[in-house]
Every structure is written in C-alpha cells, then in structure tokens.
Amino acid sequence: MATSTQVGLIVIAALASIRQSQTAVPRDIGFFEWFFDADTWTGATGILASLQDTVILCAAVTLVAVAVSVPVAAILAHLRRAEVSSTWLVSISRAVPTFAIAALLVPWSLERGWGFEPFPIFTALLLLALVPIYLNTYTAIRQLPDGPVDAARALGYSERSILTRVEFALASSLIFSGIRVAAIQVVATEPIRAFLGGDGLGRYVRDGLGQNNSTLVIGGIVLIGGLAAITGLIFVALERLVLPNGVRRLSRQQGDISS
Amino acid sequence: MTPGSLPSVLLAEATNPIIRWEWVVEEWDQIWQAIVEHITLTMLAMVLGLIVSAFLAAIALRYRWTMTPITATTSLIYTLPSVALFALLAPVFGNLSRWTAVLPLAGYTLLILVTNIVAGFQAVPPAVRDAADGMGMSRARRVWTVDLPLAVPFIITGIRIATVSTVGMVTVAAIIGQGGLGRLIFSGLRRAFWTPMTVGASLSIILALVVDAVILVIGLWLAPWQRRRKSASS
C-alpha cells in the first residue's frame, strides 16, 4: 500500500500529464478546415492516435467479454442450469450504470498506481458487454428444438460434441448478434472515458466543451458517430463471412430476438 | 469551466481518502440538491418518453406494417453514442436548458417502452377480447377497460427497465452541465477530491436500485393477479 504522500504525487502527475495533452484549436477555424488538416490527424493528440486508443480498448473489452460470456453461458444452457439468473439478467441488461461504475473505480485505480485508465473504464465497459453476450448465447442454446440434440445423442455424440458441434453451430447466428449488440454498445459508451481522465475519441467533445469551441465538439460528434456506424457495418460484413449460409437462412426464418 | 475539463490549479491534497464523511455531512444540502435534480431529470425524461412511446405503440398496434420501421428507428436512437448526442443538442437548446438533457434521455427509453407496450397488448388473450366484443363494448372501451389492465404487467416491466437505465444515463448528462449526481462526480474529478465522486457515483447506483424496487411494488399493486397466479402455481 502506497503512503498517502505518494498517492498525492501520483494524482498530481497523472492530472498534469492529461492537462498537457489537451487539444487546442483556434476558435475561428471551421470544421472542414480542421478535419481536413493533416496536423489534426497526426501527433499524440491527433485523430489517428485517439482512434487507435478507442479501437484497441473497445476490441479488448469485446474480446474478453466473448471469451468469458460465451463458454459460461453455453455450458450453463447445455446443462439447463441458472435459469433464474438469466431472467434476472434480462432486467438489468439495459441498466448497467457504466459511468458511475467507472467513476467509482477511478480513485481506487489511482491509489494502486494504475492511472486513470484503462482499468476503471475497461472494467465498466466489460460489465456492460458481458450481459448481452451471455443472454443471447444462453437463450439461443436453451431455445433450440430438442430434435437435433436428441438425434446427436442417439448417434453417440459425447456431451461435449453435442455442445460444440450441434448446439453451438445451430445457435451461432444469435450468439453472433449478441456480440454485435455488445460491441456497438461498447463503442457508443466508450467516449465517456475522456471525461474520466482518459483519452480516446471522446477527447474532442471534452476539449471542445471545455474551451467552448464548436469546431472540436462537432468534430468529436462526427468521429464518435462515424465509428459507431462503421462498427455496425463491420459486423454485418463479419456475419456474412463467418456464419455458414444455412445458419443464416435458419436465423432469418426464426427471427432475430436480440435487436 | 465545463465539467469535463481538468484542473488548471491542482488542489490534490496529500491525504485524500476515497470518502471523507465530514464532507458528506457538511455538504449535505448540495448532495440533496443533486439527488432532487437527478430524480427530476429522470422523471421528465420518463414522462416524455412514455407519451411518445404510447403514441408510437398505438400506431404500431393499429397499423401492423409500421412496427418494423418504428422498431428500426427506436433501435437506431438507442445505439447513438450518449456523449455525442448530449453534445449535439447543447448548442440547440443551450447548456442551461433542461431539455438538452431530457430529450436524449427520453430518446433512449423509446426502444424499451415501445417494445414492452406492444408486447403487452399483443399478449391479451384473443378469447378475452372476443368476450368483450361479444358483450357489446365499443373499441375504445375495450382498449381502456380490458386490454390496458391486462397489458399492465408488461408495460410496468418496460417502465422499470427504462427508468433504471435512465437513472444511470443521467450522470452522463453532466458533460453538458446537467446531470444531478453526475455533477458531483465531475466536481470531484476536477479537484482530484474523491469524496464527491464516490458519493455521486454510489448514490446514483443506490437510486437506481431503489427506483427498481419501488416500481416493482407499484406493478404488483396495480396488477395483483400476477402475484396470486404465481403463488397459486407454485
């Protein structure tokens, strides 16, 4: 445990480093002039660096959430366990207070010398992403017709093979749409990170509001909104690439439950 | 000075515990004011959201083909990044106007509310509806006295989820100077003084849990047959 003086110094150092990295743009520069200037895109506070920060964090959160949620939900659904927890999760799935959770973790993280990010925002976004992936995986496998599973069992498939080769394959479309919903929510929520001492694409809105500079605010809105839209499109493309045609056709007949 | 920007003069004290209870006692007026503002924003957003959703749900139920575009539009609104949406409306209504915070908050409730209202009315058993028609009820009377009460459990569930998520979302509105308890979070961050931050964040989570429980109770009171049916079947 660090002494209190050290904690104070860490806080000052962390705040000071952020203070230096504020984006400043003269107020008379318009959005297009700003957006199409090469200097806007390069450097430590440039769009490319911020975009990289945001994309890496969102991708990491989504990947960890998938790695945790999908196996747990698939195994529980296969064993027909934890039904109550799943209905309970539905009611909180849309209500994870990401901002409050991240804010609560900030002092805790600084005290341990982990800085303003990524620990607090990562944890908060992870909690947000876990729920839709878990729920979709669970319901997708739980609601499969008994026929294919019984058939596989009769053919002598082991329980593990039933789960991985039959249930998982048939449910893959819904599992995938859970991942899509989670990823889009993560990308849409990530900009709050800039307001909790972090960076990422939210920084332009933060600095723009702080300096009363509408060019920066508009730039930030365009970038955040653009990334959210692109994320949606990437998942549409991924769905075409990853899922077999038969499964896609099947899911279209059954209807999508997640969106 | 807007909430998001960080301190120009650093007041970080050497000893800065996560929560200092004296501050909570001394500044209770400020905390209470933030709680009231938080609840006010939530309620305004919910009332506006409910009015709009009731209207949209009525259209979707009357003309079935509108269901798809209405769901698509409300889902799209739901996925808009909150920071961008609040910042976008700030110059339209001005930082000091409540509407800057209330409009996006209401927008985020639409998907949940419309889906649940429509599901509630669709879950009314056709036999009950036929019986009401057979007794000679007018359409309007049937909707108000038969369909609506039977749809109440679904609608209350929707209101519950939407309200809880709105309580969480209100804190984000602090980036445009609104946001009740979110303002405490920012004032703590700005001064690197953790007490307001911890108080604001934990109170907003506690408020969400309390609101959840209160609406659950209201729902059971409005539709007592739910509880009876549950205990009868068990």
pLDDT for the residue B2: 47
Q: Which residue of B has its CA nearest to A90?
A: B161
Q: Which amino acid is at B108?
A: Y
Residue ranges in B94-180 assigned as alpha helix (H): 99-122, 126-134, 139-142, 148-170
DSSP A162-225: IIIIIIHHHHHHHHHHHHHHHHHHHHHHGGGGGGGT--STHHHHHHHHHTT-HHHHHHHHHHHH
d(CA B163, CA B153): 15
Q: Is A185 on the interface with B (CB under 8 A)?
A: yes
C-beta neighbour count of A84 within 10 angstroms: 8
* Interchain pair A188, B88: CB under 8 A: no
pLDDT at residue A82 in the model: 75
Q: What is the mean pLDDT of residues B149-159?
A: 90
- Is A89 within 8 Å of chain B by CB? no
pLDDT of amino acid B59: 93
Overall average pLDDT of the A133-147 stretch: 87
Query: Does residue B10 carry a pLDDT above 60?
Result: no
Residue B40 pLDDT > 90: yes
- Domain encompassing residue A249: 43-254
Helix (H) or strand (E) holding B225, with range, is helix B225-233
Burial of B77 (0-12, 13-18, 19+ CB in 10 A): middle
The beta-carbon neighbor of B15 closest among A4, A194, A202 is A4
Indicate the pLDDT class of residue B49, thresholds 50, 70 and 90: very high
Q: Read off the pTM.
A: 0.81
pLDDT value for A183:
92
Find chain A residues with C-beta within 8 A of B94's C-beta: none
Those residues whose C-beta lies under 8 Å from the C-beta of residue B156, and which sit 6 or more positions away, are B215, B218, B219, B222, B223
Domain for residue A146, yes or no?
yes
User: With respect to CATH, is domain B21-226 assigned 1.10.3720.10?
Assistant: yes
Question: How many whole angstroms separate alpha carbon A231 and alpha carbon B95?
Answer: 30
- Give the mean pLDDT of A29-47: 76
A9 versus A44: the higher-pLDDT residue is A44
Q: State which amino acid sits at residue B213.
A: A
Asked if B171 and A100 come within 8 Å (Cβ–Cβ), the reply is: yes
DSSP state of B17: -
In a domain, A21, yes or no: no
Report for A2-11, A92-101, B154-163: range of highest mean pLDDT: B154-163
Q: Where does the pLDDT of residue A253 fall: very low under 50, low under 70, confident under 90, or very high at 90 and above? A: low
pLDDT at A19: 47
Q: How far is A95 from chain B (nearest CA, A)?
A: 4
Reference A53, options A224, A215, A208; nearest CA is A224
Instruction: Using a CB–CB cutoff of 8 Å, tell me whether A198 touches chain B.
Output: no
Q: Which of residues 8-47 of B touch A (CB under 8 A)?
A: 8, 10, 12-16, 18
Mean pLDDT estimate for chain B? 84
Q: What is the per-residue pLDDT across B117-133, written as a single tens digit (0 to 9) for each?
A: 999 999 899 999 899 98
Q: Is residue A28 part of a domain?
A: no
Candidate from A44-48, A224-228, B112-116 with smallest mean pLDDT: A44-48
Distance from C-alpha of A67 to C-alpha of B225, rounded to nearest angstrom: 42
pLDDT of residue A252: 65
Residue A163's closest CA among A148, A173, A178?
A148
Q: Which positions 89-128 of B are in contact with A (Cβ < 8 Å)?
A: 90-91, 112
Instruction: Please indicate whether residue A247 or residue A148 has the higher confidence score (pLDDT).
Output: A148
A191 has a chain B CB within 8 A of its CB: yes
What average pLDDT score do residues B75-83 get?
87
pLDDT single digits (tens) A41-93 = 777 778 888 888 889 999 999 999 999 999 998 888 888 887 777 766 766 66
Calpha distance A18→A20 (Å, rounded): 5
Residue B136 contacts by C-beta under 8 Å, 6 or more apart in sequence?
none
Query: What DSSP state is assigned to residue A22?
Result: -
Please tell me the predicted confidence (pLDDT) of residue B109: 92
Query: A78: which 2 tokens?
Result: 């296969």
Distances (CA, A) of B179 to B80, B95, B146, B175, B228: 18, 11, 39, 8, 40
CA-nearest residue to B81 within chain A is A188
> Is residue B5 over pLDDT 90?
no
Q: What is the ipTM of this complex?
A: 0.78
CATH number of the domain enclosing A178? 1.10.3720.10
pLDDT at B223: 81
Q: What is the DSSP letter of A242?
A: H
Closest CA to A68 of A125, A126, A117: A126
| Residue entry with tokens 């889009």 | A184
Residues 6+ apart with CB under 8 A from A206: A194, A195, A220, B4, B5, B175
CA distance A29 to A32: 8
Nearest CA in chain A to B168: A97
CA distance B35 to B198: 14
Residue carrying structure tokens 């203070």: A19
Q: What is the mean pLDDT of chain A?
A: 80
- Higher-confidence residue of A205 and B45: namely B45
Answer yes or no: is pLDDT of A9 > 70. no
Q: Given CB atoms, is B67 within the 8 Å cutoff of chain A?
A: no
pLDDT given for residue A150 in this prediction: 87
Residues of B with Cβ-Cβ distance to A221 under 8 angstroms: 84, 87-88
Looking at the structure of chain A, the number of domains it has is 1
Hey, are the CB atoms on B205 and A19 less than 8 Å from each other? no
The dihedral through the CA atoms of B177, B181, B187, B192 has a sign that is negative
Taking chain B, what is the end-to-end CA distance rounded to the nearest angstrom?
Answer: 59
How far is residue B79's CA from residue A232's CA, in Å, rounded to a whole number? 10
Q: Does A208 sit within 8 Å of B81, measured CB to CB?
A: no
Contacts with A116 from chain B: Cβ below 8 Å: none
**Contact by Cβ (8 Å): A21, A199:** yes
The pLDDT tens digits for B164-197 are 989 988 988 888 888 788 888 888 888 778 888 8
A153 token code pair: 């069992």
pLDDT > 50? residue B163: yes
